[in-house]
Amino acid sequence: MASISYNDDSVVVIIGSGAGGGTLANELCQKGIKVVVLEAGARQSPQSFVNDEWKSFGQLAWLDPRTTSGTWRVAKDFSGLPAWICKTVGGSTTHWAGASLRFQEHEFRAKTVYGDIKGANLLDWPITLSELAPYYAKAENKMGVTRTNGIPGLPGNNNFKVMHAGAKKMGYKQVHTGNMAINSQPRDGRGRCMQLGFCFQGCKSGAKWSTLYTEIPKAEATGNLDLRPEAHVTRIEHNSKGLVSGVVYFDKDGKEQRQSARVVCVAGNSIETPRLLLLSASNMFRDGLANSSGQVGRNYMRHMTGSVYAAFKDPVHMYRGTTMAGIISDESNHNPKRGFAGGYEMETLSLGLAFMPAFLDPGAWGADYAWWMDNYTNLAGMWLVGEDMPRETNRITLNTNVKDKWGSPVANVHFDDHENDIVMRNHAFTQGERVYQAAGAIKTYRTPPYPSTHNLGTCRLSANARDGVANKWGQTHDIPNLFISDGSQFTTGGAENPTLTIVTLAIRQADYIAKQMTERAI
Partner 1 sequence: MIVKGLEGSTFFGTVRGQCVTSLYNNDMAFAAFGFPGSAWEKGGYITRGFQDLKWLPAPPKEASPPPYLG
Binding site for partner 1 (CB under 8 A): 50-54, 152-158, 160-162, 164-165, 175-177, 184-185, 192-198, 204-205, 314-317, 319-321, 326, 352-354, 356-358, 363, 365, 373-374, 376-377, 439-440
In this complex, which beta carbon is closest to partner 1, that of residue 177 or of residue 504?
A: 177
- What is the smallest separation between the CB atom of 194 and partner 1, expressed in angstroms? 3
Considering beta carbons, is residue 194 or 284 the nearer one to partner 1?
Answer: 194
Type of residue numbered 101: L
Select from 90, 325, 91, 97 the least CA-distant residue to 208: 97
Contacts (Cβ under 8 Å, ≥6 apart) of 443? 310, 311
Please, what is the minimum distance in Å from the beta carbon of residue 350 to partner 1?
11
Nearer to partner 1, 58 or 254 (CB): 58
Cβ within 8 Å of residue 70, ≥6 positions away:
394, 413, 414, 415, 416
Find all residues with CB under 8 Å of 124, minimum gap 6, and list them. Answer: 108, 109, 110, 111, 112, 463, 491
**Judged by CB, which is closer to partner 1: 350, or 509?**
350
Pairing mode of beta strands 379-386, 344-348: antiparallel
- Supply the minimum distance, in Å, between the C-beta of residue 469 and partner 1: 38
Closer to partner 1 by CB, 31 or 169: give it.
169
Given the complex with partner 1, which of 6 and 54 has the nearer CB atom?
Answer: 54
Q: 107 near 101, Cβ under 8 Å?
A: no
Q: Which residues contact 84 (CB under 8 A, 6 or more apart)?
A: 57, 61, 95, 450, 451, 452, 453
Residue 39's CB is within 10 A of a number of other CB atoms, namely 29
Q: How far is the CB of 67 from partner 1 (least distance, A)?
A: 17
d(CA 204, CA 323): 14
Residues 6+ apart with CB under 8 A from 394: 70, 298, 299, 300, 301, 414, 415, 416
Q: CA-based angle 400:402:406, to the nearest 5?
A: 95
Distance in Å, CB of 88 to partner 1, minimum: 18
Closest CA to 324 of 148, 207, 436, 200: 200
Least CB distance to partner 1 at residue 142 (A): 21
Q: Which of 411, 514, 501, 447 is closest to 309 using CA atoms?
A: 447
Least separation in angstroms between residue 146's CB and partner 1 is 9
CA 62 to chain centre: 13
Of 96 and 340, which has the nearer Cβ to partner 1? 96
At its nearest, how many Å lie between partner 1 and the CB of residue 358? Answer: 5
CB closer to partner 1 out of 288 and 352: 352
Q: In what order do the strands lie in the sheet with 443-447?
A: 175-176, 327-328, 344-348, 379-386, 304-311, 443-447
Nearest approach in angstroms of CB 239 to partner 1 is 49
Return d(Cα 301, Cα 187) in angstroms, integer.
34
Residue 506: closest CA among 2, 30, 5: 30
Comparing CB distances to partner 1, the nearer of 171 and 363 is 363
